[in-house]
Chains A and B, each alone.
With several copies, the nearest count.
Chain A
Amino acid sequence: MTCTAEGVVSALRAAVAVVIAHRDELVRLDREIGDGDHGENMRRGFTALLSRLDSEPPATPGSALKLVATTLISTVGGAAGPLYGTAFLRAASAVGDATALDGPAVAKALRGALDGVVARGKAEVGDKTMVDALTPAVAAAEAAGDDMVAVLVAAADAADAGAESTVPLVARKGRASYLGERSADHLDPGARSTALLLRAFADAAQSDERAQR
Chain B
Amino acid sequence: MKKIINDPETVVLDALRGMQAAHADLLTVHTDPPVVVRADAPVARKVAVISGGGSGHEPMHGGFVGRGMLDAACPGAVFTSPTPDQIASAVAKTDGGGGALLIVKNYTGDVLNFETGAELAAAEGVEVRSVVIDDDVAVKDSLYTAGRRGVGGTVLLEKIVGAAAERGIDLDGCEALARKVIGQVRSMGLALTACTVPHAGEPSFTLADDEMEIGIGIHGEPGRHRVKAGTADEMVRQLLDPIVEDLPFESGDRVLLFTNSMGGSPLIEMYLAHGIAENLLADRGITVERRLVGPYVTSLEMQGMSLTLLKLDDELVELWDAPVNTAALRWGV
Contacts and interface: CB of A to CB of B under 8 A. Distances in A.
A36 B1 CA distance: 14
B109 A73 contact: no
The 6 closest A-B pairs by CB, nearest first: A82-B112, A35-B219, A79-B109, A36-B200, A78-B109, A79-B108
B200 A27 contact: yes
B62 interface: no
Nearest to B198: A40
A contact patch SS: helix
Contacts of A81: 81, 83, 109, 112-113
B251 interface: no
Interface stretch (B18-26, B71-79, B95-103, B124-132): B71-79
B80 A77 contact: yes
10 contacts: A35-B220, A36-B204, A74-B84, A75-B83, A77-B54, A77-B109, A79-B112, A172-B145, A173-B145, A175-B108
A79 B222 CA distance: 18
Interface string A2-36: 00000000000000000000000001000101111
A119 B110 CA distance: 16
B167 interface: no
A73 B83 contact: yes
B115 to A, nearest CB: 7
Contacts of A40: 77, 80, 199-200
Given A74-B84, A177-B145, A80 B202 contact: no
B263 interface: no
B107 A175 contact: yes
B149 interface: yes
Interface in A66-94: 73-83, 85
A41 B84 contact: no
Interface in B188-247: 197, 199-202, 204-205, 217, 219-222, 224-225
Contact of A77 (B83, B138, B202, B205): B83
A104 interface: no
Interface residues on B, range: 35 or more
Interface of A: 27, 31, 33-37, 40-41, 44, 73-83, 85, 120-121, 172-175, 177-180, 182
Nearest to A76: B83
B81 A79 contact: yes
Contact of B109 (A36, A82, A179, A182): A82
Contact of B204 (A31, A120, A180): A31
Contacts of B201: 27
B55 to A, nearest CB: 10
Given A79-B81, A82-B84, A178 B217 contact: yes
A79 B219 CA distance: 14
B325 interface: no
Contacts of B221: 33-35, 175, 178-179
Contacts of A31: 197, 200, 202, 204-205
B83 A35 contact: no
Contacts of A37: 54, 77-80, 197, 199-200
Contacts of A36: 79, 197, 200, 204, 220
Contact of B224 (A27, A41, A83, A178): A178
B41 interface: no
B184 interface: no
Interface in B155-210: 197, 199-202, 204-205
Interface in B272-314: none
Contacts of B79: 35-37
Contacts of B205: 31
